[in-house]
Structures are given as structure tokens and as C-alpha cells.
């Protein structure tokens, strides 16, 4: 038998208890031995109903790591208390499972070194994409592959908001309120809609795919705050949907690592990933391209991923050949966004005068940027400005930024050029 100490009794913690209680026999059989939750700690545990017998309760989460448990499960979130807790547990010779993406993305380098020094297990399947087993896929199923790229929809909040703007014709603010009312977005949604949650996740995937130190501080991050209803409509006219994606790929001796909105063509399967669902596409040099789809968040999905790690821990504890950590630490250059290439969606407001289209196209041509598709719409009712929408050829990002600056400076254009990358099916 091994004992589990649980830190955190929020949505995931409660679902985990329910899951273990309901399926304890099956989980124990998969572990090859009995399991039990021996201690639960939460700062407000006295206010929470705990439907489990013979379990020690505490309001001090650090008391768990000093108990006689074999495995500590950290579900309190954040990077302050959680980091101290996890380090203390590992230094005490205890293995750890966490659903804390920020902890792994920002402090993974330190933690991976520590678990190797102490020869303990660290599981974090629940940190990325909930019920999608992408961590195990990369560390087990694809560990002998050269990973060319990983891309996908990895934040359910952003995906839900953009889906509402697409399918329900809601503006951004109304879609955000809907997400908050349904519990898909926090009262302060910045972490999700600003792209930071996705950046944590793509950092973890980059570490696993390429054995590198955490690239989080170098990830190019864009959120969805600048996406307007008109962009949704114009993209649809051109045969695209707007999604928020994370991408990491091997570019010769460097790595690209970025999160941002993209236009995805309707023919691409990722364009059909709607609501709060997640999907991750992995491309390898031998197996080609595969995609995993499922619930990326929520108490049940996250708890299920934690249970998967509990079973992995039992294999580690029983001294099987399960690999519990990668050989991290490679120093590889992370490309600056200005050095990357893509096709681009440009939305330009111009005065309703002759020759303005010629001025715009001439400016683009001066930077060797050609136009793959273009639409011009009726003047806006308020300002009598003409929206011009273009899809460019495959071009350097810095050139697009320079061309956009020049276009904004033209006499007959008005305001900022809205720039959105177009997703490359080869990525």
C-alpha cells in the first residue's frame, strides 16, 4: 500500500477524491497495490465538506510533506506556496504530482534537477490539456522520435470566446461575459485571454519535445483582446476561422515558441475544434502527423490526468523502467518573433477616395510582399472608412511590421493595421 497526501481541496481536489473513492479498486489493481488518501490539507478545510473516512485533515499544507505519505499531490496553484511545498516534499524524499502549469513552466528547470538528485517521481500530466495525455505521449510513445512541431488549441477560454463570436455573432465583451457566467473564465480573465496560460503550456511541451530549459521568458505571447467581430466575419468570407493557438517547432538549430491568434482554413481539422475543447497536433519525422482532441480543463478531466500519474508513480515505486524525467538542460536559441515567417491577414481602414488601394499595394510591394487574396467592403456607417482585408504571401514578420507602419503613415489610411498570422498546414 502507498499513502497519498493531498494539498488543495478546490474543484480538482474534490473531483480527485470522488474519482479515487468511486474507482479505488480499479485504480489499485492498475497500481498493483492498494492506495489510500491518508491526509488532506487546505487553508479553509474547516469550511469544506470532505466525504472520505479515516483521513487526517489539516489547514497547514506543509504538514502533508512531513506526514508518512509516499506521494504528495499539489493542487493549490500559483508559484509561491506551491513551489516551496513541492521543493520541501522532494527534499523529504517524497514523489509529487501537480496540475500546476505555471510551476512547471517557470520552475521546471530547478525541479527536474532536484528530482534526479533525490531519485523521486514528478508527474504533471494534468498541467497541459486536461484529459488529453500529451505529456505521456511525448515522454513515452514518441520518446524515440524527432519532433518537428507541436501546435494546437490549448486554452479553452479563448477558444470558447472566439467560438461564441463566430457561431453566435457576439462581440468580444459579450462572449467574455458568457464565459465568466459559465465558469470558463475567471473574474479577472487576463491570464487566459492575454495568452499567458497557453504560454505556460507550450513552454512545457517545448521542454519535453526538445529536452531544453524552460523557454517561458522567451515565448512570444499574444492574446485575443484585439480580435473584433469584423475580423471574425472577414475571415469567414475568405474561408477561415480565427483561433488562438500555441506552437513550438524545430527550425534547424533553433526553436520557435509562440502563442497568438491565427486564421485557420476551414479545410483544416483544427478549425472545427469549438467551445472549450482542446486539440494538439504533433508532427514527427517518422510517424508523421497525429492529433489528440478532448476536454482541456475542468475538474473531472484534470482529476483523471492526476490519476494517470498516480498509476505512473506506482510503476516508478515498483522500480519499473518507466521514465520519470527527461534529460533536460539543452541550451538552444529561441527565435525572436521578428525572425519568423508566416502568411498574414491584414485589416486596413482607408478613406473612400480613388487610388488608396494602389497606395497600399505599392507599399507592400516595396517590401516584396505580394497579395494572395483581397476583399474591399462598404464604408463604415460611423466614419465612412473602407475596410480593406488582405491575405499576404509567406513573408518575414519584421517585413510585415515595417510595411504596416508605412501603411499607417499613408495620407488616406486611418488607424492601426490589424495583423493576424495565417496558420500554415505544414506547421
Mean pLDDT of 279-307: 92
- Spatial distance between the Cα atoms of 417 and 242, rounded to a whole number of angstroms: 17
Say if residue 382's pLDDT is above 80.
no
**Which residues of the chain form CATH 3.30.360.10?**
145-293
> 2-130+299-317 has which fold?
Rossmann fold (3.40.50)
- Spatial distance between the Cα atoms of 350 and 414, rounded to a whole number of angstroms: 6
Say if residue 329's pLDDT is above 70.
no
Question: Mind giving me the DSSP string for 176-192?
Answer: HHHHHHTTSS-SS-HHH
Q: What is the pLDDT of residue 47?
A: 62
**Which residues of the chain form CATH 3.30.70.260?**
338-421
Helix (H) or strand (E) holding 53: none
> 338-421 has which fold?
Alpha-Beta Plaits (3.30.70)
267 CA to centre of own chain: 23
Say if residue 108's pLDDT is above 80.
yes
Instruction: Look up 201 and say whether it is catalytic.
Output: yes
CATH top class, domain 145-293: alpha beta
- Spatial distance between the Cα atoms of 32 and 104, rounded to a whole number of angstroms: 28
pTM tops 0.75, yes or no = yes
Residue 144, Cβ density class (10 Å: 0-12 exposed, 13-18 middle, ≥19 buried)? exposed
Say if residue 120's pLDDT is above 90.
yes
For 39-67, how does the pLDDT look when each residue is reduced to its tens digit (9 = 90+)?
999 988 766 666 677 889 999 999 999 99
- Spatial distance between the Cα atoms of 205 and 357, rounded to a whole number of angstroms: 43
**Which residues of the chain form CATH 3.40.50.720?**
2-130+299-317
For 200-221, how does the pLDDT look when each residue is reduced to its tens digit (9 = 90+)?
999 999 999 998 999 999 999 9
Q: What is the pLDDT of residue 145?
A: 81
Say if residue 325's pLDDT is above 50.
no
Catalytic residue among 14, 101, 170, 201: 201
Amino acid at each position: 500500500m502507498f499513502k497519498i497526501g493531498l494539498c488543495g481541496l478546490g474543484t480538482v481536489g474534490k473531483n480527485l477524491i470522488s474519482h479515487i473513492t468511486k474507482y479505488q479498486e480499479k485504480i489499485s489493481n492498475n497500481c498493483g497495490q492498494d492506495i489510500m488518501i491518508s491526509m488532506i490539507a487546505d487553508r479553509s478545510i474547516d469550511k469544506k465538506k470532505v466525504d472520505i473516512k479515516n483521513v487526517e485533515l489539516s489547514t497547514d499544507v506543509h504538514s502533508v510533506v512531513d506526514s508518512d505519505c509516499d506521494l504528495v499531490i499539489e493542487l493549490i496553484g500559483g508559484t509561491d506556496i506551491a513551489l516551496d511545498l513541492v521543493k520541501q516534499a522532494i527534499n523529504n524524499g517524497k514523489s509529487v504530482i501537480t496540475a500546476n502549469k505555471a510551476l512547471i513552466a517557470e520552475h521546471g528547470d530547478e525541479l527536474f534537477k532536484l528530482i534526479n538528485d533525490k531519485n523521486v517521481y514528478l508527474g504533471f500530466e494534468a498541467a497541459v490539456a486536461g484529459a488529453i495525455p500529451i505529456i505521456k505521449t511525448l515522454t513515452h510513445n514518441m520518446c524515440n522520435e524527432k519532433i518537428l512541431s507541436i501546435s494546437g488549441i490549448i486554452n479553452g477560454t479563448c477558444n470558447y470566446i472566439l467560438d461564441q463570436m463566430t457561431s453566435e455573432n457576439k462581440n468580444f465583451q459579450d462572449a467574455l461575459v458568457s464565459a465568466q457566467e459559465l465558469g470558463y473564465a475567471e473574474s479577472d480573465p487576463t491570464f487566459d485571454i492575454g495568452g499567458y496560460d497557453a504560454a505556460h503550456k507550450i513552454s512545457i511541451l517545448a521542454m519535453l519535445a526538445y529536452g531544453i530549459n524552460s523557454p517561458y521568458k522567451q515565448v512570444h505571447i499574444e492574446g485575443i483582446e484585439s480580435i473584433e467581430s469584423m475580423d471574425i466575419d472577414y475571415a469567414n468570407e475568405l474561408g477561415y476561422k480565427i483561433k488562438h493557438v500555441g506552437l513550438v517547432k524545430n527550425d534547424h538549430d533553433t526553436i520557435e515558441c509562440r502563442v497568438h491568434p491565427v486564421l485557420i482554413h476551414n479545410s483544416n481539422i483544427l478549425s472545427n475544434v469549438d467551445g472549450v475543447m482542446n486539440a494538439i497536433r504533433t508532427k514527427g519525422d517518422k510517424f508523421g502527423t497525429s492529433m489528440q482532441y478532448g476536454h482541456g480543463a475542468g475538474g473531472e478531466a484534470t482529476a483523471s490526468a492526476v490519476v494517470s500519474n498516480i498509476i505512473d508513480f506506482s510503476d516508478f515505486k515498483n522500480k519499473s523502467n518507466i521514465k520519470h524525467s527527461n534529460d533536460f538542460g539543452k541550451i538552444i536559441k529561441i527565435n525572436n518573433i521578428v525572425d519568423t515567417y508566416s502568411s498574414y491577414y491584414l485589416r486596413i481602414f482607408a478613406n473612400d477616395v480613388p487610388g488608396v488601394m494602389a497606395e497600399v499595394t505599392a507599399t507592400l510591394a516595396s517590401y516584396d510582399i505580394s497579395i494572395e487574396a483581397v476583399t474591399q467592403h462598404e464604408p463604415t456607417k460611423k466614419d465612412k472608412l473602407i475596410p480593406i482585408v488582405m491575405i499576404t504571401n509567406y513573408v518575414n514578420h519584421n517585413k510585415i511590421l515595417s510595411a504596416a507602419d508605412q501603411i499607417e503613415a499613408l495620407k488616406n489610411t486611418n488607424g492601426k493595421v490589424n495583423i493576424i498570422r495565417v496558420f500554415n498546414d505544414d506547421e
